[in-house]
Structure 1
Amino acid sequence: MSANTKKLAERLSAILVDLHSGQRLSAHGLAEKYGVSLKTIKRDLGQRLDNLPWLETGPQFYRLDTQKMQHTNLETLTRFCRFAAIKELFPPIDQAFLDNLLKDHILVKGLKYENIQGLKQQFLQLEQAIDSYHMVYFDYCKINEKQAKPYTIAPYGLVNKNGIWYVIGLDQGKEKTYNFKQISNVEILSTTFECDQNLKEKLRHSDSLYHGNQIQQITLQVNHNIAPYFRRQAQFPNQDILETLPNGDLIIQCRDINPVEVLPMVKYWLPHITIISPRSLQQDIKDMLNQYLQAS
């Protein structure tokens, strides 16, 4: 399942939880909150969530008949939103189909999330700091390190990638990515920062996670034997297909990406992928293989 589909499922889940609690939601407010267009929000509410028992269906405000959903729990809501995000995979639905879906007869796999239930307050603090452009302090313990270190950053986003939450921000002007569950002792500071709108847009539209130390572009050649996988769905962040060669091979390019997001996937698809540029990365792959062969 693509990163965009996962983001959609997460947005629908959050909206539906608010609706289920009885809130009357503004379409304009939702568009601003989630950083999407008004047209996208109206498509969410009017098409993806059209099977819900609505009391009010816009064009400005939306509200559910919560009496008809009083026996619906959070797990069912989550299942519904996962379905709504990929409903194009299914035939046109009627109420009987929807009832079967919510009774767990139809399974949609691939959306797996780490459990952050015990970190709700910390999550809300970071969200509040991002919304109000306040600096935050926290302790951060890197993997394989026993001692946490203090950080003070300008937070720009909470991003979920493959079910894992990350905090992205500026540390002394440098773009950094932090694993949310490795953060502790969050404190919102009184100091504010001026929001870099270019960075905010970059976060919104980029599939890359490792912000900072990125390469402007990486070009690869994909063998025709595995090309269908890359046509069907992007295998790399920010992937574009530049050319299909006469023999069926693909030339693809990844923009604004960290090598950490590319090399493991290249190793996975060996020997069917070659890094064209930068050549230093292709050499890195060769060095890794040589080290592996020598060790064995």
Structure 2
Amino acid sequence: MAYKHDYDKILTRLTIILSKLNDGEALSVKELAKEFNTSERTIQRDFNERLVSFPIYQEKKKWKMQDGFRVEKTKSLEDEIVLDIIEKITEGIGGKFSTKAHKLLSKIKNEDFNPIYTKLNIEDISDRLADIQVLEGAIKEKREVECWYDDERHPKYKTVLKPLKIVNFEGFWYLIALRGDTLKKYYLKNISTPKILERTFTTDSKIESLLENSISIWFQEDVEPFEVKLYADKAATKYFQRRPLPTQKIESLSEDGTMEFSVKITHEMEILPLVKYWIPHLHILEPEWVKEIMHEDLAIYLTNSSNLLR
């Protein structure tokens, strides 16, 4: 309970500070420390770590929002539609993230009514916003981070990471980072108390290409992509035409509405869960070894189901 109380105080304080900056105020660390009944060191950490990703700067011991970045009401119909969609996406995340996003969007929207509805199963990370601010700052500045991680299989341990991207796959949030020189994926909610270190690091554009071509969090680094060919019946074809997979290439499209297509992946688990989701409308054609894994999984499923029904 103590942790949650501390988090609530931090989130409330950061929200108020950003609101003041957005309203054009110049903020003093000393005055904010008195207002929030905390130390000047804590407020300075807010600016240097938790709010580092925002367009703010310090001038003559006062913190300000950069010109041209203040939030103003939109007058464009196109912008209104985009904001409506963003609002509905944040509602799908839920929790305090949704509440704070709604308050922020209300500052730039001209009306509260939203004619758009979405249903997105996105994990609520509103209890991690303070930590995410630290990670975002480290990613932008290319600085290493020290943090605790609990992978649910081993005792909680402290580690040093080179954070590259915060990503969302299938509704779940992850941190893509280098541990040493090895690319790793960390479940975001299992990361705690991140602290930015002084050490910096360099990266190349390879991670961007990996993410763009990946289907799920199972993508692998330093693995030559291989091609998987699939057959989609009429029901599945419509879906994969409307929402193509990364690297998807149509091999043939029949008059009966069926389709053969291929994708490139780096791990079989990028495609197997998707095929299982689409049973019986999607089938693996090649390579044979991936098809065999699929058949083995189905055989185990059918055997277990039969045993349960006895």
Shorter-chain TM range is 0.5 to 0.7
Give TM-score scaled by structure 1 length. Answer: 0.61
Q: Secondary structure at the match of 1:147?
A: coil
- 1:129 maps to which residue? 138
Q: Does 1:181 find its partner at 2:189?
A: yes
- AA of the residue aligned to 1:249: T
Q: Secondary structure at the match of 2:264?
A: strand
Q: Does 1:156 find its partner at 2:161?
A: no
Q: 1:111 to 1:268 in 2, by over 3 A?
A: closer
Q: 1:22 to 1:244 in 2, by over 3 A?
A: farther
- 1:209 maps to which residue? 217
Q: 2:237 aligns with which of 203, 227, 243?
A: 227
Residue 201 of structure 1: how far off its partner (Å):
4.4
Q: Secondary structure at the match of 1:212?
A: coil
User: Distance between the aligned counterparts of 2:170 and 2:303, measured in 1?
Assistant: 34
Retained in 1: the 8 A contact 2:176–2:185? Answer: yes
Q: Does 1:285 find its partner at 2:294?
A: yes
- 1:172 maps to which residue? 180
Alignment RMSD: 3.7
User: Distance between the aligned counterparts of 2:301 and 2:88, measured in 1?
Assistant: 43
189-198 vs 109-118, which moves further: 109-118
User: Distance between the aligned counterparts of 1:112 and 1:165, measured in 2?
Assistant: 12
Instruction: Name structure 1 gaps, 5 residues minimum.
Output: 1-16, 24-32, 34-59, 70-76, 86-97
Q: 1:150 to 1:191 in 2, by over 3 A?
A: same
Residue 84 of structure 1: how far off its partner (Å):
10
Fraction of identical pairs, as percent:
25
Q: 1:237 to 1:176 in 2, by over 3 A?
A: farther
Alignment of 1:53-68 (within 5 A): 61=68, 64-65=71-72
Give TM-score scaled by structure 2 length. Answer: 0.59
Q: 1:281 to 1:207 in 2, by over 3 A?
A: closer
User: Distance between the aligned counterparts of 2:251 and 2:149, measured in 1?
Assistant: 40
User: Distance between the aligned counterparts of 1:161 and 1:123, measured in 2?
Assistant: 17
- AA of the residue aligned to 1:283: E
**Structure with greater Cα Rg:** 2
- 2:251 maps to which residue? 242
User: Distance between the aligned counterparts of 1:201 and 1:194, measured in 2?
Assistant: 16
Q: 2:280 aligns with which of 271, 283, 286?
A: 271
How many aligned residue pairs are there? 221
Q: 1:210 to 1:293 in 2, by over 3 A?
A: closer
- AA of the residue aligned to 2:22: S
Give CA deviations for 1:189-240 in whole Å, capped at 9, x if unaligned: 3222111222234435655433426643322111234211211223x45433
Q: Does 1:119 find its partner at 2:128?
A: yes
Residue 172 of structure 1: how far off its partner (Å):
3.2
